[in-house]
Amino acid sequence: MTEEGKPVPPHAAGDVTEHVGYRLKRAAAALRGAMDKALREHDLTVPQYACLELLDERPGISGSELARGTFVTRQSSSVVLRGLQDGGLVTRPATADHGRALPVHLTDEGLRRLTAARAAVYDIERRMIGAIPARRLDALLADLDRMAAALDG
């Protein structure tokens, strides 16, 4: 605290727009906007795309695992899954073979739509990382992981 009782900023910043959190949020908002626009052409939302990506990597995972892996609540994940199922992009049995988890799988149409959308999303990521020197990418990724870990603990 300063003598006036104000908190001391974590680093030198002229105003709020120079803080790390603000810049991370600005980058995340720009990424989200670009993804929203690109995915609209594939009739997908960002949460739907995230679910399809995760299901391609881990076929048969449960709705709860999808929620955790896509950083949304279980309730939000259920709404997204219902939309994907109604659209014929995923299948989920009405009852579980064992336990309570209902495994989710991509359909052929879900995989086709994911593949097309993935190309658009990868183009966005190429644009984003193309803005920094290639030699700094590994350090940036490690720094982002360390920041997340510092807040998770």
Mean pLDDT of the chain: 90
The residue ranges of every structural domain in the chain are 43-152
Quote the CA–CA distance of 120 and 114 in Å, as a whole number.
10
Task: Give pLDDT tens digits for 28-56.
Answer: 999 999 999 999 999 999 999 999 999 99
Q: What pLDDT was estimated at residue 100? A: 60
pLDDT for position 30 = 97
Reduced to 3 states (helix: H, G, I; strand: E, B; else coil), residue 121 is helix
Domain 43-152 grouped into CATH 1.10.10.10: yes
Which of 48-85 are b and which e, b meaning 16 or more Cβ less than 10 Å from the residue's Cβ? bbbbbbbbeeeeebbbebbbebbebeeeebeebbebbe
Q: 1 pLDDT band (50/70/90 cuts)? A: confident
Contact yes or no for 45/81 (Cβ under 8 A): no
Can you give the pTM of this predicted structure? Answer: 0.84
